Structure 1
């Protein structure tokens, strides 16, 4: 195998992507599908599920509900195992001071972003150990930086990094690799809403808030969902076979939030 060949995943991988019908998750699912993988996604958006390309299977499921995760893994039995699991499901959570955020908002963010990853990882353990596979947990640059007015989100993402590094130690002897991808400011509807919310909280305009965000990035640009998908593919390729326990920022170097 040449170095160039080692950068492409082997065809036939069995891949699960949570929240894989929209946004970053869909870009990851599509990229694996185009590489020749057998891809199954879950999502809550039934319209997005219906619009998935032929060849990508799906389950309607909320990963914060353990019974839904059980049903998802029942649906996956046709694959006969798993080689790659991408724990992508997450929400932005509320924007506000810690004294303004409700207990329900806090719990909902942690339930989806962190507890959902635990449920999926727990159910994936035996399959990934059998295949000596790969778990990718989607975190955020907010998992390495403080994020004012977004404490539930940041707390959940720091938790994901801790989950990742701990599972890498736990599963490494069985040949399973566990890594986290930390996207920066990813172009798309979610970041547009975050910018709107933070601008309103600060009492400034959208353009001013966006410019302020970009000024905190060394390369002064957002990243694309396809950039995150490319990192996921590399981790699943032979060239990524010795990358484990890492929190990999794909962010154009976000210096602060």
Structure 2
């Protein structure tokens, strides 16, 4: 019987690609506020959940438990916002990104600890190149850095390292930091302009992020914890 994995934010884009990639090896429960836009891949189920709501998250993990012991948590749920100068970011918008991207990561990871301790499983959190650089766009400047998005994703990196430290040797915890990826977060008409700034000459794909997640969750990464795997086409050589 296949082990169980939860993928938050799995109804579209990167999360959807991750769920599809993992479905070959896991029984995957996709958690999202949005309904999937396509038929679920074989081996995947869907559960409506708000990652910021501890009660809903507890129900999510109870649903996953019906499938079997949890082996993997992939936390991909996140939102972004328009680039603005820091002086003009509304406090409400700041709080929304911190709440969903960072607090949501904490709520879900906290709920995963007990079931993953039983299986000596692993977590993979999705962060961003922006969480390391402090700017989201390759041409960022005075027009705005998306400081709230960057701060939330930097917090995810620190949270991941705290989890990895506390939970070793029983649970491995790592992160994947995508760079510019084809998808809804970047308007299609800007893809050529952004690709021209990428050392590898193109945007990445959601499937390439899914492959990175699959690697970190696999036995091939059994001696890796507390690590941020950069998948960014060379836009940050860290």
| 2:22 aligned to which of 13, 32, 51 | 32
1:54 deviates by 4.2
**Partner of residue 232, structure 2:** 251
| 2:174 aligned to which of 175, 179, 201 | 179
Quote the RMSD (CA, aligned, Å): 1.9
Rounded Cα–Cα distance in structure 2 between residues aligned with 1:94 and 1:118: 24
What SS does the corresponding residue of 2:230 show, helix, strand or coil?
A: strand
Once the two structures are superposed, residues 160-212 of structure 1 have per-residue CA deviations (whole angstroms, 9 ceiling, x without a partner) of: 11011111111113x2110010001010122228xxxxxxxxxxxx55x852x
**Partner of residue 128, structure 2:** 140
Q: Is the 8 A contact 2:172 2:224 kept in 1?
A: yes
What SS does the corresponding residue of 2:198 show, helix, strand or coil?
A: coil
1:21 aligns with 2:11: yes
| 1:109 aligned to which of 73, 87, 97 | 97
1:110 deviates by 0.7
Runs of 4+ in 1 over 2 A off after TM superposition: 213-217
Structure 2: gaps spanning 5 or more residues: 136-143
TM-score in terms of structure 1 length: 0.83
1:228 aligns with 2:209: yes
**Partner of residue 139, structure 2:** none
Q: Is the 8 A contact 2:12 2:36 kept in 1?
A: no
User: Larger C-alpha radius of gyration, 1 or 2?
Assistant: 1
1:162 aligns with 2:158: yes
1:62 aligns with 2:43: no
Rounded Cα–Cα distance in structure 1 between residues aligned with 2:164 and 2:15: 22
Rounded Cα–Cα distance in structure 1 between residues aligned with 2:82 and 2:96: 10
More helix by share: 1
Number of residues of Structure 1 aligned to a counterpart in Structure 2: 229
